[in-house]
Structure 1
Amino acid sequence: MKKQPPPSPMIDDADLDLFRQSIAGAKQLKQDTVRFDKAPSKPKVNELATQKKQHQSEFYFSDEYIPDIDTSGTINYVKPGADRYLAKQLRRGDFAPELILDLHGLNKDMAKEELAALIHACKKQHYYCACVVHGIGEHVLKHKVPQYLVQHPNVLAMHQAPLEYGGKGAVLILIDLPQTNEFRR
């Protein structure tokens, strides 16, 4: 059943004349809606994100800097001023990685970008431990990944991963998270 519109109130002639005087000289607006022939593309947004990611990775990771760590044997690093016991805890597997990054098939530049993104994601999600699987292959990433990670200010410690997380083809890292007052007593 259709609803009947409510009866309109009676408009007297004086109100109608006042309305006509107030809109005198008004012109009808032309429709100004713009319709695109095709959807606007978004490569500029993706390009900016890629440039930002690349800039972050280049800022922290340099190929020229070679830290004083042995990458041919067991990888072991603790940031100066941090507890040396962290390396032993990583070696024993006391920390389980909350994020795992697999670098198989990536070149050095792509690996730098992914490492920067991993550390950023760990900080953002408040993850303390992560695993970077670099593989063994031709030993390029096996040597470069620890050298890159040592350069980042938020890497607290790293050690070759236990067998269950990748052994000689992976590294466990601890991220230095900012202290929050929520957990202090």
Structure 2
Amino acid sequence: MRNRSHLSPLVTDEDRALFEEAIGPVRRHTAAEPLREKPRPAPEPRQFELDEARVLDELMTMHIDPAEIEVGEELSYLRDGYRPDVLKRLKRGSFSVQDEIDLHQMTADVARMAVSGFLAEAHQRGLHCVKLIHGKGLRSRAAGPVIKRLVDKMLRQRDDVVAFASARSEQGGTGAALVLLRHKR
């Protein structure tokens, strides 16, 4: 019998002999080298690629004409005390425009007087929704849209104005404002 001093001291030579008699000849087990893992391939973002392809398909079948999307600052205002859906309805074009004024080619002073007179007359006539065509200010160069800013400022200060918003693209887009007037009492 071989000396197995590295085994636990609880195993006696007699126990070892009984074990070898029951099992048969024993040989030492040498541990095999661990298997080296093959490098995993980089994950493929399949779902992301499918989503991106769907977006392209949706853009091609989109009901919105990108040419109708306006570039420019939209005007939007709702007087305190009115429900937000009033402004939403105005933006959607739910109110029919009863009259309009075109402010193109006017100086700021002339436009100010024209807007004041037009709104006073519209209110007097009991009109509820009017359109101010102020232009986009493309010819104003560095000064920006002078008449558009003037209209924005004037409308915010008038008590008879409930709300206003840039018109829909077919009505002039950001070059016109739809104005909702308070009903005449």
Picking from 149, 155, 171, the partner of 2:177 is 171
Structure 1 residue 113: Cα displacement? 0.7
Q: Normalising by structure 1, what TM-score? A: 0.56
Q: What is the CA–CA distance in structure 1 between the aligned matches of 2:148 and 2:92, rounded to whole Å?
A: 20
Structure 1 residue 74: Cα displacement? 1.7
Q: What is the CA–CA distance in structure 2 between the aligned matches of 1:109 and 1:130, rounded to whole Å?
A: 21
Greater C-alpha radius of gyration = 2
Q: What is the CA–CA distance in structure 2 between the aligned matches of 1:97 and 1:177, rounded to whole Å?
A: 15
One-letter amino acid of the counterpart of residue 81, structure 1: G
- Percent sequence identity over aligned pairs: 29
Runs of 4+ residues deviating >6 angstroms: none
Give SS of 2:135's match: coil
The answer on 1:99 being equivalent to 2:105 is no
Structure 1: 5+ residue stretches without partners: 1-71, 180-185
Give SS of 1:80's match: coil
Structure 2: 5+ residue stretches without partners: 1-71
What is the count of residue pairs matched by the alignment?
Answer: 108
Give SS of 1:126's match: coil
Q: Match of 2:48?
A: none
Decide whether the 8 Å contact of 2:112 with 2:150 is kept in 1: no
Q: Match of 1:159?
A: 165
Q: Match of 1:84?
A: 84
Q: Normalising by structure 2, what TM-score? A: 0.56
Q: What is the CA–CA distance in structure 1 between the aligned matches of 2:120 and 2:149, rounded to whole Å?
A: 22
Q: What is the CA–CA distance in structure 1 between the aligned matches of 2:123 and 2:86, rounded to whole Å?
A: 18
Structure 1 residue 76: Cα displacement? 0.8
Structure 1 residue 178: Cα displacement? 2.7
Q: Match of 1:150?
A: 156
Q: Residues 65-108 of structure 1, C-alpha deviation per residue, up to 9 Å, x if partnerless?
A: xxxxxxx7221101111122111111111112101110001111
One-letter amino acid of the counterpart of residue 108, structure 2: K
- Aligned pairs for 1:110-121 (under 5 A) are 110-121=110-121
Q: Match of 2:134?
A: 134
Q: What is the CA–CA distance in structure 2 between the aligned matches of 1:144 and 1:116, rounded to whole Å?
A: 12
Give SS of 1:168's match: helix
Q: What is the CA–CA distance in structure 2 between the aligned matches of 1:161 and 1:93, rounded to whole Å?
A: 8
